[in-house]
Structure 1
Amino acid sequence: MKLVNAKQMRQIDEAAIHKYQIPSLELMENAGQQVYESIIQLVSKKDFIGIVCGIGNNAGDGFVVARKLYDDGYNVEILSIGEEANMSLDCKVNYNKCTTLRIPFVDCMQSWDVVIDAIFGTGLSRNVEGAYASIIEKINALSTKVISIDIASGIDAATGHILGSVIKADYTLTLQTGKIGLYMYPGRIYSGHVEVLDIGIPQQLIDEMDSTIYLIEKKDMKSLLPSRSIHSNKGTYGKVLCVGGSMEMSGAISLAALAALRSGCGMITCAVPKCIKDVVACNVLESMRIILSDINGHIDKQAVIELKPRLSAYSCLLIGCGIGRSKDIEAVLEVLLDSELPLVIDADGIFALKSLLPKYKERKNIIITPHLMEFARLVDKDIQEIIDNPIQEALAFTERYPYITLVLKSETSLVVQNRKVYVNTYGNNGLAKGGSGDVLAGIITGLYAQNKDALAAATLGVFLHAYSADVLLNEKTLYSMIPSDIFMQIDDIIKSLEEDL
């Protein structure tokens, strides 16, 4: 699903009105009808429902909803904020319909069971202050179900930033297509469960919109699965070489290798320092090994000579998991970069990459998987700048390095390539454990070895990793799940995708 900002949604609305001759009042009526149909699945006729409306078209949607609920016998009251004289034209039309029907209007908050937020829509661009802020704070103080129309009032639709005060919604019923701010932090925290409602705008208008930001959805993942043929062998599905590990982090390379195998690659080899060769042999029975020279528990620069003549035997490379930050890692990474083979760089491999980026700006077939702090260091920016504007910062990086596919890991992970951004909202904080990133790197590498498509491998890999954590909540808690649980769920998830084919 394509995600848009407020300006883009306004352009879509205007095109529907002028190009397709759909009257604006008809769109508002459609929006109100769809919101009403969703709301009645969430409330009962015993509930007292308060609809809080501002003065714009979002409020107009709220007035339509009030009318439909009232006509259907629900207990409805309207709290209208702002002067009638300042209402948008369509808003005022529907306000007048509500007054004609004698739907009860109130002057202050009541003891409602449900609050419907129709204060501000996606067009909000300034901080919420004064009476509006006071009302929002009072709504949030109620122990009541809160349903926002289109976007929770106070969220910037383009960024997810909070504009002063903000509604804490349990549900957001957004119109026609997703808004970026609903899925990015901190806006995502305040949006609750998001449902997208079709209000009759032609899909062609959304498809033609120049937004290049998309939501990762399970229904789209089946097309990214690498194909499997009866007439095939282990070499058909890729030969992966994982370079990494150290005395302090001997498990990381094993987690990555097992995850790559579980995602379908045909063969796996772990190139590890001599000091952990037996640990890896015991942890990954299916793996072959290249035993590298080491010094002080880390891969030594002698590994350059040991690896270089062997690389041509592999179809995909992974470096970084547990490798550490010894001074020799940069030389090892440089050998892998020189190979031109598909390459995934994770963890301390990204640390080593920083000084090499200018030299390998034109190097193709690279996926990097930094978390926010690693990315901030890579681009020489303060971490807060990345937290505040992850999409913009990710796009700026991939414009500078157009042959790199970026997986920017956070609560809302991003997959970015060639100005396209794929936003992942699956997953939970059970993934906030050491080793989860190694598993993700392994999954992506295993997929990349099979399909040779960096964007598909990164997008599907991020989904499988995050969705596995969600599935795990059926049997484990956020406290108890561990990274090695993650790749054990991949089988069932892939089965569910294949069943949809």
Structure 2
Amino acid sequence: MYPAYIHTQSTARNIDQAAIKTYQIPSLILMEHAAIEASKIIKDIVSDDKSICILCGPGNNGADGLAIARILYKNYTNIHVVVPNIKNMSEDEIIQFQMVQKLDIPYTLNLPVDAYDFYIDCIFGNGLSRDIAGFYKTMIETINSLHKQVISIDMPSGIDATMGNVLGCAIQANHTISIDCFKQGQWINDGKEYCGKLYLIDIGIPSILHEKCMNKIKVLSLEDVHIPERPLNAHKSNFGKALMIGGSQNMHGAIHMASLSAYKSGIGTLTLMIPECISNILAIKSDFYMLLQCPDRNGIFSVKAIELLKHNINNYSILSIGNGMKKNKITQALVEQALKSDKKVVLDADALWAAQKNINLLKRNETTILTPHIKEMSDLTGINTTTILSNPFEIARDFSKEYPKCVLILKSSQTYIAKQGNVYVLDAPNSGLAKGGSGDILCGIVVAMLGQCKDSLQAALCATYIHSESAKLDIDSASFMPEDIINNIPNTLKRLRS
């Protein structure tokens, strides 16, 4: 499977130029590969009885369109090309145009009066840097007004390839075929809406040019996930000894769900540190975990919990904290105690709010995995939610560089997993996960993977992938219960191991 990277406009263009200059791959060869691969997808979308109009702009995106026209011409009897004035064409576009002329493919300088079934947008692509005006603005607005199917090549014309913003006006595409790599602007802001369905094509650029980029963004795939082995002669201590700190009178379900998912995912031993007021409830719910009961006050941990944690902390290799705890000074103190330890720590829910009060503790030497959703990320960093949503790639990357021992799992409709400036994106939106308890389940899987994986990033990647796959259930998404996802973890693990 072709590795899928996501780059900014400048990085994508630099990689393209490096392939041409460093690896001596002629641009016309790359263009031909792009046209051949894009045409395969177009043929899958467009039946051969449909009419096609290809819109070519002044540059190499337009040249791609002319090459596509040449390849499609033998399959479609009604095809037409709109070309720019020759004086505005790039060198490669002139060569492609000459071939179109030799083949007598119909072309004009202006948009035809008759409407076509499909329009292929090769006007600007990845290179646009200013607002569209004049002739091309009129063309784009006309195409949008026709409400026909549009396939954009590389980027919908008018969308900024880095930030995904509309530059004056933009093609509303039904499909976007991204060349060599995804562009960051396809995933954020207006770009998500304007791209329609995304495709990625390999045009022969050496993969090492992507791999050696600083601060890589990669789409998480099965090839990136390495489920830890469980040797037949292993002992429970080989798979982690975890202490989960959490719970309160009104929120005892959170830590229970986290503990169930941790056990289903393979943790070695598990102890729940909880307020005494919920110990009987949890004892009835399950008997696989051990309980470390703490004095409580008004349904939450009392101050005595701090000393109890200090006294017991060395009995465990992994600490998780936050599920169902509530925001208060005791939570802050317990989180501070956990982060000052030499244990691997998972911060979730209210612990993320508490960590912000002494955020420099995240620069500790041991692993910390944080699992915020967008609002919790705002609580943790002080960055408002609108800013986070406008560029989660940048937020995740910068946070992971600031706290290099941390692994961030930023949860939204897409999930961003970041460590030391490198980001993985899990693109598996699922409205069934838009329910209370889903985050607690992920926390539990993270704890279990941290007990089994040698590498903290790999633990986060495995956990995120297992969580997503376990939520792919053959039931209506509105009917998802946390137990449904938890009970599907064994099936997911079995399938991934095989």
Structure 1 length-normalised TM:
0.92
Contact 1:294–1:300 (Cα < 8 Å) also in 2 = yes
Contact 2:403–2:420 (Cα < 8 Å) also in 1 = no
Show the 5 A alignment for 1:484-499.
484-499=483-498
Contact 2:36–2:71 (Cα < 8 Å) also in 1 = yes
Q: Does 1:121 align with 2:125?
A: yes
Contact 1:184–1:412 (Cα < 8 Å) also in 2 = no
Equivalent of residue 92 in structure 1, options 78, 85, 94: 94
Structure 1 residues 136 and 292: CA distance shift in structure 2, 3 A: farther
Equivalent of residue 54 in structure 2, options 30, 47, 51: 51
Contact 1:398–1:404 (Cα < 8 Å) also in 2 = yes
Amino acid at match of 2:115: S
Q: Which position in structure 1 is the counterpart of 2:343?
A: 341
Structure 1 residues 10 and 360: CA distance shift in structure 2, 3 A: closer
Contact 1:405–1:417 (Cα < 8 Å) also in 2 = yes
Q: Which position in structure 2 is the counterpart of 1:315?
A: 317
> The residue matched to 2:228 in structure 1 has which SS?
coil
Equivalent of residue 332 in structure 1, options 309, 312, 334: 334
Moved over 6 A (4+): none
State the 1:244 CA deviation: 0.8
Distance across 1 between alignment mates of 2:446 and 2:144: 41
State the 1:311 CA deviation: 2.0
| Cα deviation code 1:99-130 (max 9, x no counterpart) | 33332335246433222221221122223344
Amino acid at match of 2:470: S
> The residue matched to 1:437 in structure 2 has which SS?
helix
Contact 2:349–2:372 (Cα < 8 Å) also in 1 = yes
Q: Which position in structure 2 is the counterpart of 1:159?
A: 163
Return 5+ residue gaps in structure 1 as ranges.
Answer: none
State the 1:362 CA deviation: 2.8
Contact 1:36–1:69 (Cα < 8 Å) also in 2 = yes
Q: Which position in structure 2 is the counterpart of 1:481?
A: 480
| Cα deviation code 1:354-387 (max 9, x no counterpart) | 1122245334211111122222232222222222
Q: Does 1:272 align with 2:274?
A: yes
State the 1:248 CA deviation: 2.1
Distance across 1 between alignment mates of 2:189 and 2:469: 19
Distance across 2 between alignment mates of 1:250 and 1:140: 52
Q: Which position in structure 2 is the counterpart of 1:32?
A: 35
State the 1:185 CA deviation: 4.6
Aligned residues: CA RMSD: 2.2
Equivalent of residue 443 in structure 2, options 434, 438, 441: 441
Amino acid at match of 1:320: G
Contact 2:51–2:76 (Cα < 8 Å) also in 1 = no
Distance across 2 between alignment mates of 1:159 and 1:109: 34
State the 1:69 CA deviation: 0.8
| Cα deviation code 1:134-177 (max 9, x no counterpart) | 43344344454332212222333223334343333333222223
Show the 5 A alignment for 1:164-175.
164-175=168-179
Contact 1:12–1:209 (Cα < 8 Å) also in 2 = no
Q: Which position in structure 2 is the counterpart of 1:196?
A: 200
Q: Which position in structure 1 is the counterpart of 2:403?
A: 401
Which stretch shifts more, 357-366 or 430-439?
Answer: 357-366
Equivalent of residue 459 in structure 1, options 437, 458, 461: 461
Contact 2:48–2:75 (Cα < 8 Å) also in 1 = no
State the 1:467 CA deviation: 3.1
State the 1:6 CA deviation: 2.0
Distance across 2 between alignment mates of 1:385 and 1:484: 34
> The residue matched to 2:479 in structure 1 has which SS?
coil
Distance across 2 between alignment mates of 1:109 and 1:492: 56
| Cα deviation code 1:27-86 (max 9, x no counterpart) | 212211111122212221111122222112111111111111112344212234x53321
> The residue matched to 1:92 in structure 2 has which SS?
helix
Amino acid at match of 2:485: I
Structure 1 residues 283 and 412: CA distance shift in structure 2, 3 A: same
Amino acid at match of 1:175: I
Amino acid at match of 1:326: N
Structure 1 residues 451 and 188: CA distance shift in structure 2, 3 A: same
Q: Which position in structure 2 is the counterpart of 1:300?
A: 302
Distance across 2 between alignment mates of 1:299 and 1:318: 16
Structure 1 residues 154 and 446: CA distance shift in structure 2, 3 A: farther
Q: Does 1:3 align with 2:2?
A: no
State the 1:315 CA deviation: 1.9
Contact 1:301–1:332 (Cα < 8 Å) also in 2 = no
> The residue matched to 1:335 in structure 2 has which SS?
helix
Contact 1:431–1:482 (Cα < 8 Å) also in 2 = no
| Cα deviation code 1:266-287 (max 9, x no counterpart) | 2222211122223323333422
> The residue matched to 2:323 in structure 1 has which SS?
coil
State the 1:404 CA deviation: 1.7
State the 1:217 CA deviation: 1.0
> The residue matched to 1:415 in structure 2 has which SS?
strand
Contact 1:168–1:191 (Cα < 8 Å) also in 2 = yes
Distance across 2 between alignment mates of 1:202 and 1:27: 11
Contact 1:427–1:467 (Cα < 8 Å) also in 2 = no
> The residue matched to 1:328 in structure 2 has which SS?
helix
Structure 1 residues 403 and 108: CA distance shift in structure 2, 3 A: same
Amino acid at match of 1:27: L
| Cα deviation code 1:423-443 (max 9, x no counterpart) | 221232222112211111111
Show the 5 A alignment for 1:188-227.
188-221=192-225, 223=226, 225-227=227-229
Distance across 2 between alignment mates of 1:156 and 1:249: 44
| Cα deviation code 1:384-432 (max 9, x no counterpart) | 2222222222233233222222112222221111111112212322221
Q: Which position in structure 2 is the counterpart of 1:187?
A: 191
Equivalent of residue 367 in structure 1, options 366, 369, 388: 369
Amino acid at match of 2:122: A
Q: Which position in structure 1 is the counterpart of 2:248?
A: 246
Q: Does 1:79 align with 2:82?
A: yes
Identity of aligned residues (%): 37
Amino acid at match of 1:55: P
Return 5+ residue gaps in structure 2 as ranges.
Answer: none
